[in-house]
Amino acid sequence: MASAAGTSHIAAEQRCQDAHFHVEATGPDGERTMVLAVSDGAGTAPLAEVGAGLVCSTFGRLVAAYVGQGGRIENIRRPLVERWIAGLIYRLEMHAAHTGAALEDYACTLLAAAVGDRSAVFLQIGDGAIVQSVGGSWRYVFWPQHGEFANTTNFITSTHRLEALEFDVASAPVEELALFTDGLENLVLKKATRAVHAPFFESMFPPVRRSRATGVDADLSRALNGYLSSAPVNDRTDDDKTLIMASRRQA
């Protein structure tokens, strides 16, 4: 997993406003759950990168606490996710109270997945996407949320965040999964046909399948950061880019 600053942000001497987070939680019965989250901070929000980081890490820890207390992924329903979203807003408001900022200063998206042995849950507010391998083909979970005008989307700080929240439960094992922010949409999605560009993922996942690392592979993550910062990618997008890839398959 990696986040890389876009060339437009580098030219403007801005930090990368994307964030990502991973945590592995273990329930009382020993079942392990992987929680993944990515976020894209709004370019117009002064504390967007702070908001993106807080939203990802706080969500991951909320799910980890749920699992650690015996909660099961297949039992997660939308009302519980909405309470977690309320917890994220509370965390941002607490940070804002210390800095004198407004909630809107932390505007960012949220895409997350909690994957257990037999089931998974997915949620999304904003653009970017989550894709998974199903029966040998790549499919998106939710299509990116874009507004009426170009470069507009939904943010977790908006008053209509719960209306924008998309939520789904998969009652089957997930073998491979990728989460990415909108900076990669033009490389990995066919927007004209609303389909996933499968060759991208088929070329990217073999090293992940060969990895013998426990949890996050630091070497592959450094290589991924280099790829996301490379000329072939930057020629296609000048935005920040984040990508998480996870696999149970072995090469």
For residues 62-83, give the mean pLDDT.
97
Torsion of CA 72, 119, 174, 227, to 10 degrees: -40
Residue 250 pLDDT exceeds 80 = no
> What is the DSSP code (8-state) at residue 184?
G
CATH topology of domain 2-247: Phosphatase 2c; domain 1 (3.60.40)
3-state secondary structure of 54: helix
CB atoms within 10 A of CB 136: 7
Query: Which structure tokens are listed for 142?
Result: 């939710």
Nearest residue to 186 (alpha-carbon basis) of 246, 127, 113, 109? 127
Let me know: does 164 contact 154? Beta carbons within 8 Å.
Answer: yes
Complete edge-to-edge strand list for the sheet that includes strand 120-125: 18-26, 32-40, 110-115, 120-125, 166-170
Edge-first strand listing for the sheet containing 241-247: 2-4, 241-247, 176-180, 129-134, 137-140
Query: Residue 150: its pLDDT value, please?
Result: 62
In this prediction, residue 193 carries a pLDDT of 94
Q: What is the pLDDT of residues 15-52, one digit of tens each?
A: 899 999 999 999 999 989 999 999 999 988 999 999 99
Q: Residues 33, 241: contact at Cβ < 8 Å?
A: no
Taking only the tens place, the pLDDT of each residue in 226-245 is 999 999 999 999 999 999 99
State how far Cα 202 lies from the chain centre. 20
- Amino acid letter, residue 108: C
Q: pLDDT value at position 174?
A: 93
DSSP 8-state symbol, 6: -
Q: What is the pTM of this model?
A: 0.95
Domain residue extents for the chain: 2-247
Answer yes or no: is pLDDT of 149 > 70: no
**Which band of pLDDT confidence, cut at 50, 70 and 90, is reported for residue 147?**
confident
What is the rounded CA–CA span in Å between residue 143 and residue 159? Answer: 21
Helix (H) or strand (E) holding 95: helix 78-99
Could you give the angle at which helices 48-68 and 78-99 cross, rounded to 10 degrees? 140
**Mean pLDDT lowest among 19-23, 48-52, 121-125, 171-175:** 171-175
In this prediction, residue 86 has a pLDDT band, given cuts at 50, 70 and 90, of very high
